[in-house]
Amino acid sequence: MSAAQTSLPAGFEALQPFVPAWAVESANDRLQRRLRSSEAERVAFFAAVQPLLADGLAYLDQTPLGEFDASQTRLMRLLLSFAHVALAVETQGEDEPKHAADARFITITRAPADR
């Protein structure tokens, strides 16, 4: 991916390395990415996003959803992926592999965040 395809808004450069893997388009893509990820990948992503989450949400709230540019859309997709990963890291923890085994049979066909 080129820099233009992975760029994020100013202030969120620390999340740049996660764009190719985690800034995926749909809720089902986010679920599948979480299920394919290792614990180390989830923890690294969680640790990078968590301190920037409030700032990221505040930044995105300044622009109507339908008016996001490509960099804002990538940031939004990262934050949506964070929601999936936070469940695995904060709640399921060491039980994530057990939950993931069953979740592999789920297909999210439509979600409010998909546009």
DSSP calls for 6-74 = H---TT-GGGGGGHHHH--SSHHHHHHHHHHS-HHHHHHHHHHHGGGHHHHHHHHTTS-GGG--HHHHH
Domain count, the chain: 1
Asked whether residue 110 is domain-assigned, the answer is no
pLDDT of 5-49, one tens digit each? 569 999 999 999 999 999 999 888 888 898 888 889 999 999 999
Asked whether residue 83 is domain-assigned, the answer is yes
This prediction has a pTM of: 0.80
pLDDT of 71-84, one tens digit each? 999 999 999 999 88
* Residue range(s) defining the domain that contains residue 51: 20-103
